[in-house]
Amino acid sequence: MKILKITLIVIIVLGITAWLGLPPLFRALGFHPHYAGPLYRLPGGKALIVTTSHDELGDGGKKTGVFGSELTAPYYAFLDGGMTVDVASIQGGEIPIDPSSFLWFLEAPSDKRYHADPVLQEKVKHSKKIDDIDFTKYDIIFLSGGWGAAYDLGTSATLGRKITEAWAAGKVVGGVCHGPLGLLPAKDETGEPLVKGRRLTAVTNKQVKELGITMTPQHPERELRAAGALYESETAFQDMFADHVVVDGRLVTGQNQNAGVEAAEKMMQAAGGRQG
């Protein structure tokens, strides 16, 4: 009986240690790092966040969607910068959020803010359909990632046309992780692929392999390089802990979920926002 009690106590202590210790450990390793760079404001500006509508990973029925912080982090950065922020998805309606992104040790501060924010929750539940939106009415178009985006952002002719129109109108465009796949169907002013010859980043082939999620139809680094993009990235012992943001004029991209805040801030800067 005594051994059983001791074993139970050890299990409880280890559980509490893991519960309390994993989040700061992941932060220390680089997951959702605190952004200490300059903050920008664009009062009166409008931002549109576009996400996937796809909710299943492969054929096994595992749920996926947008990675939570890749929606919440830019949303609150834009909102705190004085902007009006709309949320849209490929099909409209309720946006699927990858349940793993809200695990206690992976949640970002912006995710916790989302859980207490009925306004954003309503926008996620009743997102706008991209077909019904004039992208040229926005100053910034932000493409959120997550595994679901590998199924529908890069193959949406409607999204490609909408981004093409926004780019021609002088808007700032970009996104993070799998989000930049949505740039693939877009064209620049000359009719060439928007990404061709432009510097950008997105999730790496290495990260896809490390996480073992290779069944998705599109992989950002592979597809963007094939389309002529000047792809670049940083690496780490595991690329989920790496971080990189690229600014090429009005095109702003972040490597993965760690880049949401910085990418949003640099998009506001590119759109004429002022530091403050």
pLDDT per residue as tens digits for the range 229-244: 999 999 999 999 999 9
Task: Report whether pLDDT(227) > 50.
Answer: yes
Task: Report whether pLDDT(120) > 80.
Answer: yes
Q: 249 in a domain, yes or no? A: yes
The pLDDT, as a whole number, for residue 170 is 98
Q: 12 in a domain, yes or no? A: no
Task: Report whether pLDDT(9) > 70.
Answer: no
Q: 148 in a domain, yes or no? A: yes
Q: What are phi and psi of 97, to 5 degrees?
A: -110, 130
Least confident of 102-106, 118-122, 147-151, 196-200: 102-106
The pLDDT, as a whole number, for residue 3 is 57
Q: 13 in a domain, yes or no? A: no
Q: 94 in a domain, yes or no? A: yes
The pLDDT, as a whole number, for residue 165 is 98
The pLDDT, as a whole number, for residue 65 is 98
pLDDT tens by residue, 37-73: 999 999 999 999 999 999 999 888 899 999 999 999 9
Number of domains the chain is built from: 1
Query: Residue 51 to residues 1, 86, 156, 175, 215: CA-CA distances in angstroms?
Result: 54, 11, 12, 10, 20
The domain spanning residue 106 has which CATH number? Answer: 3.40.50.880
User: DSSP 3-state assignment of 29?
Assistant: helix
The pLDDT, as a whole number, for residue 13 is 37
The pLDDT, as a whole number, for residue 10 is 40
pLDDT tens by residue, 243-262: 999 999 999 999 999 999 99
The pLDDT, as a whole number, for residue 264 is 98
The pLDDT, as a whole number, for residue 151 is 98
The pLDDT, as a whole number, for residue 22 is 81
Q: 228 in a domain, yes or no? A: yes
The residue range of the domain holding 46 is 42-275
Q: 6 in a domain, yes or no? A: no
* Model-wide pTM > 0.75: yes
Residue 249 contacts residue 270 (beta carbons within 8 Å): yes
pLDDT tens by residue, 180-221: 999 999 999 999 999 999 999 999 999 999 999 999 999 999
- Please give the mean pLDDT across all residues of the chain: 93
Query: Residue 29 to residues 22, 60, 236, 239: CA-CA distances in angstroms?
Result: 10, 31, 9, 11
Tokens of 250: 């009005």
Strands 172-176 and 140-143, how do they pair?
Answer: parallel
* Separation between Cα atoms, residue 250 and residue 198, nearest integer Å: 11
111: left (phi over 0), alpha (psi -120 to 50) or beta: alpha
Enter the DSSP assignment of 90: S
In this prediction, residues 157-180 reach a mean pLDDT of 98
The pLDDT, as a whole number, for residue 181 is 98
In this prediction, residues 135-164 reach a mean pLDDT of 98
Q: 8 in a domain, yes or no? A: no
Greatest CA separation for the chain? 78
Of 86, 185, 93, 67, nearest in space to 135 by CA = 86
Q: What are phi and psi of 202, to 5 degrees?
A: -170, -175
